[in-house]
Structure 1
Amino acid sequence: MGELANCPMCGELFLKGMLTVCRSCYEKEEEQFETVYKFIRKKKNRTATIDEVAEATGVKIALIQKWVKERRIHRADFPNLTYSCERCDEQIQEGKLCDSCKNELYQDLQASEEQTIADKIKEEKKSDIYYNVTKDRTWRS
């Protein structure tokens, strides 16, 4: 079952579930989606950027980016419709991070993992030392 929430667009109270906005805002979004889709479906507009689509249709850029992220607008059909990487703001067509940010995070994780392994080996070597007390009470290692 959904949870009670305020609509991020109008502030109205609604039951959040499949929809992330209230019913009336959802219907307005759908009307705007149809406007955008009719525009980009025309052959001459298929290579339009998000800025050009927003300017021509009057729909906010953030809303168009939301549809691209949700894959309601397919990148294969409209290659210039992109959104920003969440880390560096480079324009991407899928996911949350661009390839360079993914690679950088992967390398950081690898380095961290290698350091953790090195620390464990170092700790294990310390624990390998045993001390023994002889009969004459002297220490030997």
Structure 2
Amino acid sequence: MANLSNCPNCDKLFVLNAFRDVCDDCFKEEERQFETVYAFIRKRENRTATLAEVVDGTGVPEKQILKFIKKGRIQLSRFPSLGYPCEKCGTPIKQGKLCDNCTSTLRSQLENLQKEEERQKEIELRERTRTYHTKK
């Protein structure tokens, strides 16, 4: 059974499928924008362009270019100056969702949390194993 959905761009009703998350008209517009962006960054003089320079040079919104990058349609290994922002601090990155600094900070916080939980378990265990003596 087909799933109907509203297009997030134009709010038009369309049949949702696994390959497209927008209606046919918006998909065609996205493809046109992708061709514009890809033609721009393939030129020798634009291969080292940053994200802001690509936005200025093509007129395609940054959000759309980031969508192309995240879907893997633009491979960052070929374009050394392109990247997308870290989801926590906004530093430009080329892979994953977090930059190295945020990743290491998150790891250290998780390690500290784990150590604290272990310490709490040890305290609980010690308190449960205490023996109380009473006088009769």
| Bigger Rg, structure 1 or 2 | 1
How many aligned positions are there?
A: 135
Change (3 A) 1:68 1:121: same
Matches within 5 A, 1:3-18: 3-16=3-16, 17-18=18-19
Structure 1 distance, partners of 2:123, 2:2, is 51
Q: Give the drift of 1:97.
A: 0.7
For structure 1, which segment, 12-21 or 82-91, has the greater mean C-alpha deviation from structure 2 after superposition?
12-21
Q: TM-score, normalised by structure 1?
A: 0.88
Equivalent residues of 1:40, 1:48 under 8 A apart: yes
Q: TM-score, normalised by structure 2?
A: 0.91
Structure 1 distance, partners of 2:13, 2:34, is 23
Equivalent residues of 1:69, 1:95 under 8 A apart: no
Q: Higher relative contact order by CA 8 Å / sep ≥ 6: 1 or 2?
A: 2
Partner of 1:40: 41
Q: Which runs of 5+ in 2 are unaligned?
A: none
Aligned residue identity for 1:12: K
Q: Give the drift of 1:130.
A: 2.4
Q: Give the drift of 1:24.
A: 1.2
* Matched residue SS, 2:115: helix
1:5-36 Cα shifts (integer Å, max 9, x gaps): 22111111223332121121011100110111
Tell me how large the CA RMSD over aligned residues is: 1.6
Aligned residue identity for 1:11: D
Q: Give the drift of 1:71.
A: 1.7
Aligned residue identity for 1:15: V
Matches within 5 A, 1:3-82: 3-16=3-16, 17-82=18-83
